[in-house]
Each structure stands twice: as C-alpha cells, then as structure tokens.
Amino acid sequence: MLMIGKNAETDEEVYINSDRARAMLISGKRGSGKSYTLGVLAEELLDGDQGIVIIIDPMGIFHTMILPNTDQEQALWDWGMRPKGLPIRLLVAGDAERLYGGRDITQAMESRGLEIAPIRLNPSDLTPDGWCDLFSLSLSDPMGMVLYRAIQELTRINWDLEKSFFNIAQIVTQINQDKRASDKTVEALLLRLETAMDWGIFTEEHQPILESFKQNTINVVDLSVIEAGRYGLRNLVLDVICRNLFLKRTIERRREELNLSTGFPRIWLAIDEAHQFAPSSGTTLAKENLIRWVKEGRQPGLSLIVASQQPAAIDSEILSQCDVIIAHKITALEDMQALNKLNQDYMKRELQSMIKQIKERGIAILVDDETESVTTINIRPRRSHHGGSESSSPHSEQFRI
C-alpha cells in the first residue's frame, strides 16, 4: 500500500494498492506538483520494499532525493514524519565524468552518498529496425538496407551463443563485406557508426543492462545529460531498458509459476515528462515497447507511472490503460478533455468540477479504478529533498552541478 496523502475532507490517510501491477498517470499544469508527487510514490515504493524502483529523469532532478527534506521539516512533523535522505543509484548513459563536466563534480556527488553507475548499451540490444530508426534510415533507402542486412546477419551469426553480442567494430566489418553495397553507401554508413561510437553509450564489451538496476535503492536514470534531440538517444536508452526488463520479468514470472528460484522482483518504472517518450502523435524509439509494457506488463509484474503536464500529448493507448489518475491543477481545455475521455462511469462530471476547485499546490484528485473512487487529497510532504524547485535552499545550492 502506498500512502499518497490524506483525504482533504475527512483527513483520513489515502492509500493506493500496490499488491498488483498498476498503471498510473500524474497530470497537472506546469509547476502544479507532478514531479514532487512522483517522488512521494517512489519513497513509498522504496519503503514498502515493492521491488525494483526506476525513475526515468529527463530533467535531472531526482538525484537530490539523497538529501533530507529539511525545508519542510515542520510540515513533516505535522504528518508524524521526519526528513530523510534515501539511497539513490544514479545511472548515466555514457561517461559520467565527461557528461557532468569533471571528476571533481562526480566526486562531490559521490561524497554526498550518491552511487553513480554507468549504463552502457550493447549494439546487439537494438533490433535491425532499431538501428535504422536511430539514424532515421528507411528500408527503401540504400543505407537503411545495408545497415539492416548487416545487423540481421550479425544477429543470426550470434543466435547460437548463449549471450548473443556484437560490437560496433563488427557491424563495420559486416558492412565492408557486403558486396551489394556501393562504396558511397558504405562510406556514409561508416561515418554514422563512427558518430555512434563517439556518443559513449555503446560498450565494446558485453555488459548486461539488467545488472544496472538494484533493489533497496531508487534507480534514477538521468537522461538530462543526453541532448534531447540527438538521434533520439534518450528514447533509445529507455527502449533498451524497457525491452530487456520486460523479457527478464517474463522469464522470471514463468519461474515463479513453476516454483523455481527467482532473483529479479517486480518493477516500478516511473517516467517524468512522459510525453517525450510516448507522444500521442508520431513515433519514437521507445513508444512501441512502452505500450507493450503497459498493455502486457501486468502479469509479469511491470508497473508504470507516467507524469506529464499535457495528458493530451501522451499516447492514447497508454492513457487508456491507466487505472490510477492523480490530477493536479489543469487549466488547458485540451488536457481536461483528454482526462475526461478516460472517464469511468463512477466519475462522470465529477472530475472536471473537482479539478476546477483545486486552489493550491499539493492538492490533487485521485481517481482509483480499483476502489472506483474519486477523492480530493492533500499530497503528503516528501521526506527527501525535491530537486525540481527554484528555491534557494542551501541543499539545492549544494547540489547545483
């Protein structure tokens, strides 16, 4: 059970059942408290030992959860709680020192208790289609065809190996051996692959991404250090994470059903600014697997929490799967309509008028399909420091990187 806050009318504690996999939407206009609430859920998940907790963090704000929320000490006391920093594992795709701007910076972060760990992708983690998408190549394009053939062939060659793995150098060799490819096509492709090597997110050795995620800590994947537009790299990282975790949990679930030992518990994947990864229009590298996660993930124990200021900008297949909605203040008509479309019978008309009545930050409407309830709640204060504010608290100063 996740204690999200208190009923604004009765002052009773309000819980969200987390015994089974859930899909949650946190919405609200800019600055209404979405990321803060996402942090509350992460705290509850960690406290309740609910499996592996992962936050996909495009803004680079969640690592501050390592610090106690001393700014709201009084509010916490009023709730019978105390400020408390949490164990945070900060996962960075690429070379952390280079991405954060120097060794002294990563050292300073580590001295505050943050565990910084690199995540590296194996070139074999991407499908032939994924590789083409990465460079925006289509299969009607000679370059797309040659690249597709090369990856397909490497995947086939490696099929028998227990851990099918290949590196970029092998892709280059494979392309060079393609007799059907023109020199110009090969040259152009090799240039692109060289660029991919420079990104620093692909490893030349086999490094299973699953080993990056640990229990009893909040795994924060900091995507803010990757340029948003650059070849859809943020989406690529999320896609590879989703695909591998999905596969692993499907196998683990089978083991659980057969009473075999398992070492990989259920997963809570929380995505801030989720419209960047599963937009309502257009495709991204991650979108297909996110839809699969939310549609087929319940049985293998995969939960999803998406936060966005524009529910209308999130893919409708994902929205329609959400069985918990936490709605902060919303003013845009379009976003109100997107929420209304999700209206279940039990909340007809209610939601819109309740959202209109929200006057302050920290108040939200909780719609829970399981209990078929619509409740106005006061979100509980965070125990750990929220990094999304522009406050001049000494802690946020300390953490400015």
Ligand X SMILES: Nc1ncnc2c1ncn2[C@@H]1O[C@H](COP(=O)(O)OP(=O)(O)OP(=O)(O)O)[C@@H](O)[C@H]1O
What residue ranges bind ligand X (CB under 6 A)?
A: 28, 30-36, 309, 361-362, 379, 381, 386, 388-389
30 binds, among Mg ion, ligand X, none (CB under 5 to 8 A by kind): ligand X
CA distance 226 to 9: 44
Binning the chain into helix, strand and coil, the percentages to the nearest 5 are 45, 20, 40
- 33 versus 51: smaller Cβ distance to Mg ion: 33
Q: What is the per-residue binding string for Mg ion in 24-63, x denoting contact by CB under 5 A?
A: ----------xx----------------------------
33 or 301: CB nearest ligand X:
33
**3-class secondary structure for 80-127?**
CCCCCCCCEEEEEECCHHHHHCCHHHHHHHHHCCCEEEEECECHHHCC
Binding-site partner at residue 123 among Mg ion, ligand X, none, CB < 5 to 8 Å by type: none
- In sequence order, the 6+-apart residues with CB closer than 8 A to the CB of 395 are 64, 67, 70, 71, 385
Place of tokens 């799967």: 321
Minimum distance between the CB of residue 150 and ligand X, rounded to whole angstroms?
Answer: 41
* Distance of closest approach, residue 34 Cβ to Mg ion, in angstroms: 5
Q: Minimum CB separation from Mg ion for residue 388, in Å?
A: 5
130 binds, among Mg ion, ligand X, none (CB under 5 to 8 A by kind): none
Closest residue to bound Mg ion by CB: 35
What span, in angstroms and rounded, lies between the C-alpha atoms of 83 and 352?
Answer: 34
The span from the CA of 57 to the CA of 35, in Å, is 10
End-to-end Cα distance, the chain = 35
* Count of residues interacting with Mg ion (CB under 5 A): 2
Least distance (Å) between residue 250 CB and ligand X? 32
Nearer to ligand X, 150 or 338 (CB): 338
Nearest position to ligand X, beta carbon: 389
Q: What values do phi and psi take at 54, rounded to 5?
A: -125, 130
Q: Which lies closer to Mg ion via its Cβ, residue 389 or residue 393?
A: 389
Which residue, 120 or 383, has its beta carbon nearer to ligand X? 383
Q: Which two tokens stand for residue 314?
A: 């999130």
**Per-position DSSP letters for 251-273, written without gaps between them:** HHHHHHHTT-------EEEEETT
- The nearer residue to Mg ion, 35 or 289, going by C-beta atoms, is 35
Interacting residues with Mg ion (CB under 5 A): 34-35
